[in-house]
Copies of this chain bind each other. A is one copy, B any other.
């Protein structure tokens, strides 16, 4: 299928295929109409049972942007571009219920299933936001580094119970044009009817490792002699203190049961 079928394109597919994360922006600020378009696009994503279980916080206050730079230890964050923090949010419905209903709802709200639902809702919305931004000629990067001090970020944003930040998105006018990164072979990601065998998967990832080794060696900036899996296994072995995130999530009423 992969080598013979013609690939189909149109302006939407072209925008999707042209994605690269942009981490450096000019000093231009976003127009209110651009911000509104990005947020309204985010809102149009599907959500589980139409619960719309996410929120977005835009950071405009320079002091808060500076604090986020401290939290993430990422110098480029907050220097320029507009910052959106995407949150999983099960709070709206609890606000609307009676006290008795809140108790009745608690068991579901605090289940792993609903945590997962809210995370998915937020991420579906986020991808619409990224594509809308890119379609307007802007660049974007999704940033997980906001988790480096999640309790501080929570206080900074004044998040109530049942609201947790998941990731940030920085959006601005691109001041760099990195390469589009080659993805895993389609055959390593897409299967028909059953998951592939471990042997098949290993062969596919090994082929990708060879491709990515060439890519990492050849690219203009930040080039190095590594493959995809070696790079990530080394990252995974670093054992960051992740239990703080687990505790934080549970303290907000997510993923408790």
Contact = CB atoms under 8 A, between A and B. Distances in A.
Interface stretch (A71-79, A171-179, A218-226, A230-238): A230-238
A190 B82 CA distance: 13
A132 B60 CA distance: 32
A242 to B, nearest CB: 4
A205 B92 contact: yes
Interface of A: 1-2, 4-13, 15-17, 19, 21, 31-37, 39-46, 48-52, 54-61, 64, 91-93, 95-97, 101, 104-105, 107-109, 111-114, 116-117, 119-120, 122-124, 126-128, 130-132, 134-136, 141-142, 144, 147, 157-160, 163, 166-167, 181, 183-184, 186, 188-195, 198, 201-202, 205-206, 209, 228-230, 232-233, 235-240, 242-243, 245-246, 249, 255, 257
30 contacts: A5-B36, A11-B135, A12-B135, A13-B132, A13-B136, A16-B44, A19-B45, A45-B130, A46-B142, A50-B181, A56-B189, A57-B192, A58-B193, A92-B201, A93-B233, A95-B202, A96-B209, A108-B240, A108-B242, A109-B236, A111-B242, A111-B245, A112-B249, A116-B166, A120-B122, A124-B142, A127-B127, A131-B131, A158-B195, A160-B198
